Copies of this chain bind each other. A is one copy, B any other.
């Protein structure tokens, strides 16, 4: 997950969410520092005619030669986004591409080209880097994208920064279209990834099914494309920072509020078994890379069919309301305060 922020297109997606806080300075992560940074920087960003979608979305949408492209950049850094014992370098290559490409999926686009900048510490061999790059290249090819450029340099920790250029769908889909009455949906079970990192970073047993979810986030490009092309979804974002926070970005950009029902959040069997009933990883953990989107109730059947056709499930977890902010309710309808109900390990970051 990204801990920082965002020039331009990631207002709020980055920063305060995530589970790898233990080894990240609080200074950069503190919402105050981040929001202050963005409050000052965003108004300075020029927004020319060719920029169709500006600050506050997963990727930039730019117009060129009558067509439109999506552009995004994301990085994975050792000690911040991952620890080397948690995955092989080839898997890191694949993970890095999936995480970066997820922003294109969240805009309903199709990754076409990617560029990779890689920082390599002294104790990592070129052979290992070669295998990582090859694996990344194959992952990109599986998505229909080509690695067209790269750079490799010495650094103190291993890092991979990936820029992805994608085709934009004809219908514009971003965070700004949610309307009161819309349903709030997610494309798969939440929390596995955050729970895996929680267990691993504390040296506890982590079942392979959870670890795999963190290592290789799901591909949701095909679902994203269908939701965009057919006009099913009204707003969309990828779940990188946790349901509560990412939904709040949709709410801010759409000028609406939302209610989420904790009991409706889809959870995997290993999550139920290893979380000890703690919902916080599913609600605020981050790094799920599922799609979070809103849609009118009348579209639900068509959406379920579209999801089923591409081999994934969708789950209604709440609805959009007038007003502001995200409210999470328990089974009795009572509001859950994310800052007190077992969510301390996230809120304090």
Residues on A close to B: CB < 8 A? 2-10, 14, 24-25, 27-29, 33-34, 36-37, 40-41, 44-48, 50-51, 59-60, 62, 64-67, 69, 71-75, 77, 79-81, 112-113, 115-120, 122, 126, 129-130, 133-134, 137, 141, 146-157, 159, 161, 163, 165
Contacts and interface: CB of A to CB of B under 8 A. Distances in A.
Contact of A151 (B6, B24, B37): B6
A149 B9 contact: yes
B10 A150 contact: yes
Given A6-B150, A7-B151, 16 more contacts: A2-B152, A8-B148, A28-B152, A36-B126, A40-B130, A41-B130, A59-B149, A60-B149, A62-B113, A65-B65, A75-B161, A77-B119, A80-B155, A155-B156, A155-B159, A165-B165
B44 A137 contact: yes
B72 A3 contact: no
Contacts of A146: 45-48, 50-51
A28 B72 contact: no
Contacts of A126: 27-28, 33-34, 36-37
Contacts of A73: 115-117, 149-151, 161, 163
Contact of A14 (B25, B45, B74, B152): B152
12 contacts: A6-B151, A8-B147, A8-B150, A10-B149, A45-B137, A72-B149, A73-B115, A74-B117, A75-B117, A75-B153, A117-B117, A156-B156
Listed residue (A46, A151, A165) with the most chain B CB atoms within 10 angstroms of its CB? A151
Contacts of A115: 60, 71-73, 163
A139 to B, nearest CB: 12
A25 B28 CA distance: 29
A80 B46 contact: no
Contact of A71 (B2, B130, B165): B165
Nearest to A1: B153
A51 B137 CA distance: 15
Ranked 6 nearest A-B pairs via Cβ: A7-B150, A4-B152, A60-B148, A163-B163, A73-B115, A156-B156
Contacts of A8: 147-150
A283 to B, nearest CB: 23
A152 B5 contact: yes
A74 B119 CA distance: 11
Contacts of A147: 7-8, 45
B6 A152 contact: yes
A147 B34 CA distance: 19
Nearest to A13: B151
B67 A161 contact: no
A159 B153 CA distance: 11
